[in-house]
Amino acid sequence: MNDEEKKFALYENFQKVNSIAPEFFEQYEVKRGLRNPDGTGVIAGITNIANVHGYVVSDGVKTPDEGQLRYRGYDLYDLLEDDSSDRRFSFEEVSYLLLMGELPTKEQLARFVSVIDAERELPDGFTASLIMRNTPPDIMNLLARSILLLYAFDENAEDRAPQHEIHTAISLISRVPRIMVLAYYAQQAKYNNGSMIMHRFIPGQSTAETILSMLRPDRQFTPDEARMLDVMLCLHAEHGGGNNSTFTTRVVTSADTDAYSTYAAAIGSLKGWKHGGANHQVLAMQQEIKENVQDWSDEGQVADYLAKIVNKEAFDRTGLVYGMGHAVYTISDPRAVILKKFAERLAVGTEYEAEFELLQNIERLAPEVILKEKGTNKDMCANVDMYSGFVYSMMGIPEDLFTPLFACARMAGWAAHRFEEIVSGKRIIRPAYKTTHSGKRPYKSIDER
């Protein structure tokens, strides 16, 4: 056997060894993906941090409902529609609310903002030796690695006391956006022959302003652009305990590991294409449709191409229409509703209008195509990832940063859930797995096999 054949011999049983007959799931009533047969989630915890509402269950019957998202009891719409005269940046305020449980007074907010501001500096040599060296092509991987490496610069990294937990969370909420932009330029320099731009952060700027002023080569941005990015950060900041990356946070935290290991694990989850990584996939999918459909405004042509995607004949062959569907929301995802309004406002009358129409067509047509092609009659709406990448694109934010921006925002939610798990979880999360082996296999020595 040559080397290739030796490797191939290791793969050939992959499918067989890892397959479990579907009837076992029914026989043992195992809830795949921790989902009940009607799609509702198995209750795995209790939280005070957020409420994600998408259906009503009454007498065992699930009825779809308009989506609602509340942070610590406050409706997302109310948090974003505060039109007070001192229009301030909200991500810091939302982070305070999530971490501390209450909306801050002016003094509390000012103190919190100054603590975030004071944490932006990175350890000496961090950028040169840990961001610019061995830069991976994916910024999410670099973010996870950077968070793991920041452990080495924290003398009390193993301390689980509240002061240390809060300090670590705030320092990461402050630093991850900076690391993200530095990582972007390191990645561009290494893989795309780009220039390595390393603007310093400007003390006193909000998170949204810091990102824009570090990202833009000329450092310029308008107040409206910063406000828009701020809103994007707010609406990605938290989504209950059950979403995959927050549940990861809670699972890993429950093992009593350090904060850095926990947040790095959460980033690994968020990168997934069925989770936060879908924002990136939506754009790639839209691009493929644009290249293959002659008239994007023709619903028939778009539906035909979506049918190919659903039948695994086009795009990434998973059969998924990215940006569509949600584990909780049925009629609407409130974040997608807000993002669609932004997208429309920014696109109409510009070169982006036709692309906006295309996304709208995908949103409208996907449920019927999925029903027709797969017979899946699931109440399905656009999720947060459907329009976010499009809004970022119109703001000139590169595709490689779509999911990392989600991570910058969700740091606040992950931290709140880590705190809650530490204080209230009190037990390692350890569900059971049923085995399919009914008996013991007789051991054979290597000569007998």
Ligand X SMILES: CC(=O)SCCNC(=O)CCNC(=O)[C@H](O)C(C)(C)COP(=O)(O)OP(=O)(O)OC[C@H]1O[C@@H](n2cnc3c(N)ncnc32)[C@H](O)[C@@H]1OP(=O)(O)O
Distance, in Å, from the CA atom of 279 to the CA atom of 390, rounded to the nearest integer, reads 9
388 binds ligand OAA (CB under 6 A): no
Separation of alpha carbons 237 and 429, rounded Å: 24
Complex with ligand X: residue 377 or 445, whichever CB lies closer: 377
> Is residue 384 a contact point for ligand OAA (CB under 6 A)?
yes
239 binds ligand OAA (CB under 6 A): yes
Does 311 bind ligand X (CB under 6 A)? Our answer is no
Residue with tokens 């970022």: 392
Q: Which of 230, 385, 400, 417 is catalytic?
A: 385
Of 230, 118, 96, the closest CA to residue 171 belongs to 118
Residues counted in the chain? 449
| Three-state DSSP state, 64 | strand
Termini Cα distance of the chain: 20
Q: What is the number of other CB atoms lying within 10 angstroms of the CB of residue 197? A: 16
Under the binding rule (CB under 6 A), the answer on residue 251 touching ligand OAA is no
Give 327's DSSP letter.
Answer: S
Question: Between 153 and 273, whose beta carbon lies closer to ligand X?
Answer: 273
Q: Does 242 bind ligand X (CB under 6 A)?
A: no
Interaction between residue 243 and ligand OAA (CB under 6 A): yes
Residue 337 interacting with ligand OAA (CB under 6 A): no
Site residues (CB under 6 A) for ligand X, limited to 172-211: none
* Complex with ligand X: residue 36 or 257, whichever CB lies closer: 36
365 lies in the site for ligand X, by CB under 6 A = no
Q: Is 405 near ligand X (CB under 6 A)?
A: no
Half-sphere exposure of 426 (CA within 13 A, CB side): 3
Q: Which of 2-10, 287-295, 355-363, 377-385 is the region at the interface with ligand X (rule: CB under 6 A)? A: 377-385
Contacting residue, 150, 283, 293, 310, with ligand X by CB under 6 A: 310
Q: In the bound complex, what is the minimum distance in angstroms from residue 79's beta carbon to ligand OAA? A: 15
Alpha helices in 242-333 (DSSP H): 244-254, 259-270, 278-292, 299-310
The 8-class DSSP code of residue 421 comes to I
CB distance 246 to 266 below 8 Å: yes
Catalytic option among 326, 333, 400, 417: 326
- Residue 39 binds to ligand X (criterion: CB under 6 A): yes
- In the bound complex, what is the minimum distance in angstroms from residue 56's beta carbon to ligand OAA? 18
Nearer Cβ to ligand X (241/325)? 325
Minimum gap (Å) between residue 77 Cβ and ligand OAA: 16
- Single-letter code of the amino acid located at 260: Y
Residue 338 lies near ligand X (rule: CB under 6 A):
no
291: left (phi over 0), alpha (psi -120 to 50) or beta: alpha
Q: Is 437 a catalytic residue?
A: no
Q: CA-CA distances (angstroms) from residue 204 to 112, 215, 221, 366, 387? A: 12, 17, 16, 44, 30
Rounded alpha-carbon distances, angstroms, from residue 196 to 103, 154, 177, 188, 449: 39, 28, 17, 7, 57
DSSP alpha helix (H) spans, 89-138: 91-100, 106-118, 126
Asked if 281 interacts with ligand OAA (CB under 6 A), we say: no
Is 327 a binder of ligand OAA (CB under 6 A)? yes
By CB under 6 A, is residue 280 in contact with ligand OAA? no
Side-chain half-sphere exposure of 173, counting CA atoms within 13 A? 34
Active site residue 256: no
- Binding letters toward ligand OAA, positions 338-377, x by CB under 6 A: ----------------------------------------
User: Residue 229, class by beta-carbon neighbours within 10 Å (0-12 exposed, 13-18 middle, 19+ buried)?
Assistant: buried
Cβ of residue 168: shortest distance to ligand OAA, in angstroms? Answer: 22
CB of 216 to ligand OAA, least distance (A): 27
Tokens of 160: 């689980």
Tally the C-alpha atoms within 13 A of residue 149's C-alpha that lie toward its C-beta. Answer: 18
Segment interacting with ligand X (CB under 6 A) among 169-177, 252-260, 315-323, 351-359: 315-323
**With binding defined as CB under 6 A, does residue 376 bind ligand X?**
yes
> CA 280 → CA 36, 272, 405, distances in Å?
29, 10, 11
Q: Which stretch binds ligand X (CB under 6 A): 12-20, 58-66, 174-182, 313-321?
A: 313-321
Name residue, tokens 């949204």.
208
Known catalytic residues are: 326, 385
Q: Please report, as ranges, the residues that interact with ligand X according to CB under 6 A.
A: 33, 39, 274-276, 278, 310, 319-327, 370, 374, 376, 378, 383-385
Q: Please report, as ranges, the residues that interact with ligand OAA according to CB under 6 A.
A: 52, 239, 243, 327-328, 383-384
